[in-house]
Amino acid sequence: MRATSPGTPTARPDEPPIQRVNAFLSDFARRQAAHTAAVPGGFAVYDDAFAQSRANNQVLIDAAVDPEALPALAEEALGHLPHRLISVLDDDTGKACAEPLIRAGYTHSTYLVMLHTGPVPDAGPAQEVDLDALRGPLARRWRGFLPDADDEVVRQLVDRREARRRGADIVRFVGARAGTGEVASWADLYVDPATGTAQIEDLITSEAHLGRGYADAVLAGALHLAAAHGSDFRFLTADAADWPRHWYERRGFAVIGHSHAFERG
């Protein structure tokens, strides 16, 4: 059985679904981090090896916080970085924090927490892949997303996946290969076997392979693998303002809650 640090929230199977998700996300962020620091209402995570990655260097709010104080709290925690990211897991807290943070120059995004409610699909052609197989496709995709980013930024955004192995007891990279053997689409799978909770994260398809069913294969493979590891509670998050949410709904996912992200710089 793994140990948890004092104050680390741990998901329990009998919790309400959204609380179970939030406990899992909070626990994953703590475990993945190279080091953490407590802040009112939550904690900050840091990883100097991936200083350009916002997800690895951010403030995460998972308890009650004074919304008006949050911009200053984030400045104190992240002031040494050129960017700011604040993730607020609770929906009501996130809504309350929006106005003060927008006044402070942050942009606001809302994310849907989506729980898989359909049958577990067959494994299909997707399979577990290693990080080396993902480096080339990942780097090309990030260069498409961030055409002005330099080589070091792209390298960190690719290599940060290695740090994710610390975040959960079971971390797998699932991919579907094209006829050439290259990984055409991929996603992360994180599983906590103690609670049966699993998250599917970062489902991405190479631009050259869009529209050919590879993402379907990866999603099916990840759901099947999660169930094989004993998970009966499988979730993901999706941008509330983007089209993939509807794609996930057609594949058996239902919205059970919301979280919020605030970015600057």
Could you read off the pLDDT of 29-48 as tens digits, one per residue? 999 999 999 999 999 999 99
Distance of CA 197 to the CA centre of its chain: 14
CATH number of the domain enclosing 133: 3.40.630.30
Query: Higher model confidence: residue 158 or residue 7?
Result: 158
Other Cβ atoms closer than 10 A to 27: 23
C-alpha to C-alpha distance for 187 and 140, rounded to whole angstroms: 16
Domain co-membership, 109 together with 147: no
C-alpha to C-alpha distance for 109 and 242, rounded to whole angstroms: 11
Model confidence at 98, pLDDT cuts 50, 70, 90, reads very high
Residue 189 included in any domain: yes
The stretch 16-32 carries a mean pLDDT of 97
**Residue recorded with tokens 């699909």:** 121
| pLDDT at residue 15, rounded to an integer | 76
Domain co-membership, 210 together with 146: yes
pTM of the predicted model, to two decimals? 0.92
- Considering 86, 113, 140, which residue would you say is the last residue of a domain? 113
Model confidence at 105, pLDDT cuts 50, 70, 90, reads very high
| Nearest of 112, 97, 98 to residue 21 by alpha carbon | 112
- Domain count of the fold of the chain: 2
How much of the chain is in helix, strand and coil states, percent to nearest 5?
40, 30, 30
Domain co-membership, 142 together with 250: yes
C-alpha to C-alpha distance for 61 and 71, rounded to whole angstroms: 12
- Considering 113, 146, 165, which residue would you say is the last residue of a domain? 113
Could you read off the pLDDT of 136-152 as tens digits, one per residue? 999 999 999 999 999 99
Domain co-membership, 136 together with 229: yes
Could you read off the pLDDT of 43-65 as tens digits, one per residue? 999 999 999 999 999 999 999 99
Residue 2 included in any domain: no
| pLDDT at residue 14, rounded to an integer | 64
Domain co-membership, 21 together with 75: yes
Give bridge partners of residue 172 from the DSSP assignment. Answer: 189
Judged against a pLDDT cut of 70, whether residue 10 lies above it is answered with no
Residue 263 included in any domain: no
Residue 213 included in any domain: yes
* E runs forming strands in the chain: 35-39, 42-46, 58-61, 84-88, 107-116, 127-129, 170-177, 183-192, 197-205, 233-239, 253-264
Cβ proximity of 221 and 127 under 8 Å: yes
C-alpha to C-alpha distance for 226 and 200, rounded to whole angstroms: 9
Domain co-membership, 156 together with 42: no
Domain co-membership, 185 together with 99: no
| pLDDT at residue 12, rounded to an integer | 56
Domain co-membership, 89 together with 142: no
The stretch 165-176 carries a mean pLDDT of 98
Model confidence at 3, pLDDT cuts 50, 70, 90, reads very low
| pLDDT at residue 200, rounded to an integer | 98
* % pLDDT > 90, the chain: 94
- Residue 184: give the domain boundaries: 127-256
Q: Given the DSSP bridges, would you call strands 58-61 and 84-88 parallel, antiparallel or unpaired? A: parallel
Domain co-membership, 164 together with 107: no
Residue 45 included in any domain: yes
Domain co-membership, 232 together with 208: yes
Residue 8 included in any domain: no
Backbone torsions φ then ψ of 22, nearest 5 degrees:
-65, -40
- Considering 85, 113, 141, which residue would you say is the last residue of a domain? 113
Residues 6 or more apart in contact with residue 144 via CB below 8 angstroms: 207
Cα separations in angstroms, 170 against 89, 162, 190, 263: 22, 13, 6, 29
Cβ proximity of 95 and 75 under 8 Å: no
Cα separations in angstroms, 81 against 40, 46, 54, 58, 212: 20, 10, 9, 10, 40
Judged against a pLDDT cut of 60, whether residue 111 lies above it is answered with yes
Model confidence at 85, pLDDT cuts 50, 70, 90, reads very high
Helix residue spans in the chain (DSSP H): 17-32, 70-78, 91-103, 131-145, 151-159, 214-228, 244-249
C-alpha to C-alpha distance for 136 and 157, rounded to whole angstroms: 12
| pLDDT at residue 13, rounded to an integer | 54
Average pLDDT, whole number, for the chain?
94
Domain co-membership, 49 together with 134: no
Residue 252 included in any domain: yes
Query: Higher model confidence: residue 42 or residue 123?
Result: 42
- The dihedral through the CA atoms of 149, 154, 155, 157 has a sign that is positive
Domain co-membership, 169 together with 211: yes
Residue 74 included in any domain: yes
The stretch 141-166 carries a mean pLDDT of 96
